[in-house]
Structure 1
């Protein structure tokens, strides 16, 4: 929801101009994607280490939160630069691969800090993500994209209830409010599963309307 709103807000133009000034002709979108991946994996490792080295919990806690936010930030940078230079199919695929790798790694890291309490909410979160990304990809393949979407993205998503921005918010909250990790992961899992179900229903309606 937030991604869709931001895409159509005045903030988008100002933000994209700033990113273009910072990175234009300096680094490729794929390199930005890889940097985001490295930051995300390092954040996940920091979450894991915060439980292993309990005396340094606060240090790893702060590091993981900062790196997580930076990882998601770089994920927005690559899209801006890609649209400026003309996006590629491999770039879109690499972006999806890196996004999901970071998200899965962070959830596994959360579970590792308290396997007894977080195992099931973690499993349901991962299962929900599999269903959700499957619906995103299938609906983007089956449904025709508008000319504007074709120019903007190689891989196009329909707007959803739980998108990248909402995922960042939930992950940051789950990391920061660590005493509520089980509850937050359950809520995240339910919302992601609900998003997948909503996409299934909407795709069914859209495909039926195309036949008429």
Structure 2
């Protein structure tokens, strides 16, 4: 939700950073790799009880993840870059969840539920992107929802910093992510049904 409606407010900073990195000779895919390494380190910092460093790494990774997309659009978009971007995003999330799970094994069951809800929501998201011909700023059809990446980062941040409430924050994230998956599933049914109806009308 915040990604969809709030991106316009931070895009000037993202755009300026993207142009600066292009000027120094970096490619979008190189920035994607840097973003991935920084983001993956977040889970390591969590495990070693360095929550501030974990949060900084997470948000810096998220910022660079937005920058690399802008860089791609300013230069030459790469299909493999999209694959890298989506894949690395999920690995960063896995890193955070594993860091929390190993640091706080007593809530591992809740973190497992959260992982299931993310798999569900992302399965809908990626499947719809694969079967629809709509596209937006990204190189695939982007489904908005209650929990987009910024909401996920906010909830991950709260989970990292407010560990006495980790169980309840994880369950909240699970509910929000599951709701988003159902939201996207229903929206996918509407979009794809409308496309089928348009096809039938042209026959």
Is the structural similarity TM-score above 0.5?
A: yes
Give yes or no for contact 2:47–2:100 (8 Å, CA) kept in 1. yes
1:24 to 6, 22, 25: 22
Question: What are the within-5 Å matches in structure 2 for residues 46-125 of structure 1?
Answer: 46-50=45-49, 60-116=50-106, 118-125=107-114
Distance 2:171 2:43 in 1: 19
Q: Which moved more, 1:89-98 or 1:40-49?
A: 40-49
Q: Give unpaired runs (5+ residues) of structure 1.
A: 51-59
Give the corresponding residue for 2:201: none
**Cα distance, 1:18 vs structure 2:** 1.5
**Cα distance, 1:64 vs structure 2:** 1.4
Distance 1:140 1:32 in 2: 24
Give yes or no for contact 2:14–2:66 (8 Å, CA) kept in 1. no
1:24 match: secondary structure:
helix
In the superposition, the TM-score normalised over structure 2's length comes to 0.90
**Cα distance, 1:10 vs structure 2:** 4.7
Alpha-carbon spacing, 1:84–1:49, altered in 2? closer, same or farther (3 Å) = same
Structure 1, residues 59-87: CA drift from partner, whole Å, max 9, x if none?
A: x2222121122111111111111111131
Distance 2:129 2:121 in 1: 12
Give yes or no for contact 2:134–2:140 (8 Å, CA) kept in 1. no
Structure 1 stretches of at least 4 aligned residues deviating more than 4 Å after TM superposition: none
Distance 1:209 1:165 in 2: 30
Alpha-carbon spacing, 1:138–1:65, altered in 2? closer, same or farther (3 Å) = same
Give the corresponding residue for 1:37: 36
**Cα distance, 1:95 vs structure 2:** 0.3
Structure 1, residues 3-44: CA drift from partner, whole Å, max 9, x if none?
A: 10124x3542x2243213421232111111111111112111
Give the corresponding residue for 2:134: 145
Alpha-carbon spacing, 1:28–1:195, altered in 2? closer, same or farther (3 Å) = same
Q: Could you say what the CA RMSD is over the residues aligned between the two structures, in angstroms? A: 1.5
**Cα distance, 1:176 vs structure 2:** 1.2
Give yes or no for contact 1:111–1:122 (8 Å, CA) kept in 2. yes
In the superposition, the TM-score normalised over structure 1's length comes to 0.87
Distance 1:122 1:210 in 2: 37
Question: What are the within-5 Å matches in structure 2 for residues 129-168 of structure 1?
Answer: 129-146=118-135, 149=136, 152-168=137-153
